[in-house]
Structure 1
Amino acid sequence: MYTNDYFKYLNIGLPDDILRRKLYGDFEGAIRLIDMRLESNNIPEPLKNCLKVQREIMLRLPDDFPLTKSEALAVARKRIQDFSEEEFTKLVDEGRILWIYINGEPRYFNRFFETLCKTDEVFAKRAGIRKSGMNDEVIRDYSMRTMMEKGKMVNQIRCRASVRIKDEYFEKGKLVRVHLPIPCVCEQQSDIRIEKMFPENGFIAPETAPQRTVFWEEIMTENHEYFVEFSYVHTAKYHDIANIIPSEQQPKFYTEELPPHIVFTPYIQQLVDTLTKDINNPLEKARSIYDFITKNVKYSFMPAYFGLENIADGCARNLVGDCGVQALLFITMCRYAGIPARWQSGWIVEPEFCGAHDWAMFYIEPYGWLYADPSFGGGAVRKGNEALRQHYFGNLDPYRMVANTEFQAEFTIPKRHWRADPYDNQIGEIETEDRGLRYYEYERKKEVISCVEII
């Protein structure tokens, strides 16, 4: 069993005494109790595997929640001088600022201010933030219209991905193993080429790898960057779902659970049953699920997925989540409803911007695979753009790089230690012979070299 396989046991749960310490934020005490249990010979193997994951989670959680209340207020007041304590408290109570207890004191999410600026135009204006580059809504409206008029839109894209160990964490003479995401073969992508890489001896995973990477392994005598440049053609076909008539019999593939996050909890079951009551058409069931997520879940940057538990159920209860959290909720709800659903992820690649992104696919017989991007649909709700919201149920856009076709899949050459992201593959992973590096220990870059419409 590889280290990251332990995550399959995460939702077994903690013993009560350890759970109480974790909720209070006494991570040191909780880890001490875990170590005592792990040294015991009478712990069942599934619980032991869960404890190993929980131990590592508690070592990492403080990285995402470093801010005291006064420090969080200082972050906001650096850009908004009249930001009040009352306003802060209101945002916390509304669930718009994430927090946990650490040693009994609230500690706040380090990206709370970014979330507020991204999801609230008034807040961003108060902070004096103006987005550079092309307007997202303009780009997406244009691609939607083009796809509807021409039946598809095609982009020729070239990008660069890189990682580099920060000098203060570099250890000369140590074995280093590196993974960087690259495009995989899928319905949308063709003519995939690795244009450049350094070092030049990287191992390129098969084009059909579920999480495709280029991999290096070397004993580093001096610190340097690892990079890969790649090009590909991305085709976004238009799916006119208004004319789809589903078959009476639908397939059963991609309808199973995948612990710890794609799980049919009692709440997921009751929620789906409520939303799909009296609906027999599988396409309309999927639409009802999409409508629920896009109209009710608020977008928020999230802590590292490493530390999240039961992501889909948590999103359904808290009604907060980023692109991947919302995609997982859609997939989980569709699967419980008997609709095949799966993961896709990689990057958004626009002419002047690229960033990590996740979305979903769902299957309707006899049409085949369709797409859903709940977070982009929710973004359209914030803009009051109903046509665009509806577009992202069934369709995407050509501004994407797909590196992954499965969630929680192993690399072709697996990591030996903990992955920084045990579920997805978007920004690169590094490990030494001793351990997996955490995000703060290495630099990551994603760059668009060119993105040109060719059809």
Structure 2
Amino acid sequence: MKKKEIVLWSLVAVALAANIVVPKLRRAYSWERDLSQRLAVDFSRTRTEVKDWIAGYIPDVTDKQIDTWTDEGLLENMKIGGRTMYFHNAAPNLFRIVPELKAIKDSADIARDPSLADGRLRGKDSIDAAVIPLIRRDVTQALESGAGNPFIAQPRRMRVTFSVTVPANTLRRGSKLRCWLPYPREDVARQTGVRLIRAGIDSTDLPESKLRFSDPSCCHSSLYFEAKVKEGKPTRFYEVFEYVSAGEWHPVDPEKVLPYDTESTDYKEYTAEKPTQVVFSDRIRHIADSLTEGITNPYLKAKAIYSWVDRFPWASAREYSTISNIPEYVLDVKHGDCGQQTLLFMTLCRAEGIPTRWQSGLMVHPGNANLHDWCEAYFEGYGWIPVDQSFGETSYGGLFYFGGIDPYRLVFNSDFGGELSPKKKYPRSETVDFQRGEVEWEGGNLYFHLWDYDFEIEYLD
């Protein structure tokens, strides 16, 4: 679901749209057909393409090795139209989830670009080496200060230009497009000073009276647009906004964590199942109980769960809408991206009666801005604390990201799988998260490979 992976598919859309998009979208809607098309987009690599990519790091790779990795599920694959097709990032993922292969790739990449030697951060393929000292400084300041609880560190003011572009000839002239762009939340304590600079369609700014912001109660914060398609021209929706983000650190003393009020509305909501993604299956309950056996303190329980989930390597994700239950998927394939790892952590915690809630949007580290998901956990006496599961334990801050977060975040979402405001008529391209935006027309949803999104970060402070 990451930015660079989606961009490639917009090029395919331009070539295919005129002959394929309109006829397909004019059929009566069927989720089964929609899902099969989404899977075909995700599983688009042939065996030859996968082998050729691997050969870039293992020149003498054999067909037998490809067979073994395929059979073991290390090269994620699926039958599409009767053929074995591979997830479009199956080959790169192989080098992320198999330690020996990861070492081969890391060595080769560093030989090509020595600056990468200091640019590896757990949970991500590459954080620009120049950024790590900035994060380390903020983390160290927070850990050593002991000031306040929470300690708010190093506010950063940033300006973001975010856009969604539907290529020319994707739909017939006059077709009505509906577009939702993600917009910063204003109910997050460490995210302040949200200010819209301008927004519009193509190259025309719209007056604020013509803009429609999502209801503040909506868990997916957005700015909504409508436009009609012009013949031979792309349609671009854009917004420019500023906000201030601060780091946060909660030095929790486990002995001062109080018992939960299990009758409170919030406790019941945030310890409940939320099908289809948060489900207390027998396997989930068994793992949660095993990890916390003999532990009665909820903070220490959550810490044990965090450390266990941290063992799952980060890997590029299939589209979430194609996975019926993400935590179970992570347990099956033994890897996951930031949102997948987060949902596993949340589910295991909730199964143990520890409240958790989703947060997501962007990580905006200079040189490595991208989509990102994390969450919060609640401990009585301390309140909600940030938990960034995919960053895990770091060499410069230990378990800082269990209870802390750096300033390079942009929050769009306070939960997952909610309705947009105004509501979409057709199922969203992303049925769980909301980071890239959404587009539909009167005939159906426009899936991710039929449009492009982009964002630029300007660091003001």
Corresponding residue of 1:303: 318
Please, which of 416, 423, 439 is the counterpart of residue 430 of structure 1? 439
| In 1, Cα distance between equivalents of 2:446 and 2:422 | 17
Displacement of 1:193 in angstroms is: 0.5
Residue 299 of structure 1 aligns to a residue whose secondary structure is coil
- Give, as a single letter, the amino acid of the residue that structure 2 aligns with 1:147: A
Partner residue, 1:195: 197
Query: Aligned pair in 2 of structure 1 residues 103, 352: CA closer, same or farther (>3 Å)?
Result: closer
More moved, 401-410 vs 63-72: 63-72
Give CA deviations for 1:22-67 in whole Å, capped at 9, x if unaligned: xxxxxxxxxxxxx9xx9xxxxxxxxxxxx95444322321111112
Q: 1:258 aligns with which of 274, 287, 294?
A: 274
Higher RCO by CA contacts (8 Å cutoff, separation 6 or greater): 2
Hey, what does 1:398 align to over in structure 2? Answer: 407
Which amino acid in structure 1 is aligned with residue 105 of structure 2?
A: F
Separation (CA, whole Å) in 2 of partners of 1:121 and 1:141: 25
Determine the C-alpha separation between the residues in 2 that align with 1:278 and 1:83: 47
- Look up the SS of the partner of 1:107 in the other structure: strand
Tell me the number of residue pairs that the alignment of Structure 1 and Structure 2 aligns.
397
- 1:175 to 1:168, Cα distance in 2 relative to 1, 3 A: closer
Matched residue, 1:167 = 168
Matched, 1:228 2:228: no
Corresponding residue for 2:259? Answer: 248
1:266-305 mapped onto 2 (5 Å cutoff): 266-295=282-311, 297-305=312-320
1:83 shift after superposition: 4.5
Aligned to 1:363: 378
Corresponding residue for 1:144?
A: 139
C-alpha deviations, 1:292-332, integer Å up to 9, x for none? 1002x121111111101111122133321100001101111
Residue 99 (structure 1) aligns with: 77
The range that moved more, 111-120 or 256-265, is 111-120
Q: Which residue of 2 aligns with 1:77?
A: 55
3-state DSSP of counterpart to 1:215: strand
> How far did 1:373 drift?
1.2
Gapped runs of 5+ residues in structure 2? Answer: 1-26, 117-125, 146-150
Paired-residue identity, %? 27
* Alignment correspondent of 1:213: 222
Q: Partners of 1:241 and 1:177 in 2: how far apart?
A: 45
Task: Quote the Cα distance in structure 2 between the aligned partners of 1:79 and 1:166.
Answer: 35
Partner Cα distance (2:401, 2:72) in 1: 27
What's the TM-score, normalizing by structure 1?
A: 0.80
Q: Is the 8 A contact 1:376 1:389 kept in 2?
A: no
Please tell me whether the aligned partners of residues 194 and 244 of structure 2 are also in contact (alpha carbons under 8 angstroms). Answer: yes
8 Å contact kept, 2:271–2:351: yes
Local SS of the residue matching 2:78: strand
How high is the TM-score relative to the length of structure 2? 0.79
**Equivalence for 1:156:** 157
- Structure 1 residues 137 and 250, CA, compared in 2 at 3 Å: closer, same or farther? farther
For 1:298, the aligned partner's letter is: P
| Alpha-carbon distance in structure 1 between the residues aligned to 2:106 and 2:446 | 33
SS of match in other structure, 1:289: helix
**Corresponding position of 1:42:** none
The runs of 5 or more residues in structure 1 that have no matched partner are: 1-34, 39-50
Counterpart in the other structure of 1:23 = none
The letter for the 1-side match of 2:75 is: I
Q: CA RMSD in A?
A: 2.6
CA pair 416-265 structure 1, distance change in 2 beyond 3 A: same
- Matched to 1:60, the amino acid is R
- Conserved? CA contact 1:174–1:433, under 8 Å: yes
Deviations 1:341-391 (A, max 9, x none): 01000000122331000001110001100121111106x4xxxx2x53411
**Is 1:112 paired with 2:90?**
yes
Identify the residue that residue 349 of structure 1 maps to in structure 2.
Answer: 364
Contact 1:244/1:367 (<8 A) preserved? no
In structure 1, what is the equivalent of residue 105 of structure 2?
123
Q: In 2, Cα distance between the equivalents of 1:422 and 1:229?
A: 25
1:337 corresponds to: 352
AA aligned opposite 1:411? L
Q: Which has the higher helix share?
A: 1
Residue 397 of structure 1 aligns with an amino acid whose one-letter code is D
In structure 2, relative to structure 1, the CA distance for the partners of 1:244 and 1:115 (3 Å cut) is farther
* Post-superposition offset of 1:125: 4.1
Whole-angstrom distance in 1 between the partners of 2:364 and 2:216: 20
Asked if 2 retains the 8 angstrom alpha-carbon contact of 1:167 and 1:223, the reply is: yes
**1:198-226, CA deviations, whole angstroms, 9 ceiling, x for partnerless residues?**
13133122455310011101223343311
- Using the TM superposition, give the Cα deviation of residue 180 of structure 1 relative to its aligned residue in structure 2, in angstroms: 0.7
1:91 and 1:145, CA in 2 relative to 1: closer, same or farther beyond 3 A?
Answer: farther
Q: Are the counterparts in 2 of residues 116 and 124 from structure 1 also a CA contact under 8 Å?
A: no
Q: 1:400 to 1:121 in 2, by over 3 A?
A: farther
Deviations 1:223-265 (A, max 9, x none): 3311111111112222112466211234423111111111111
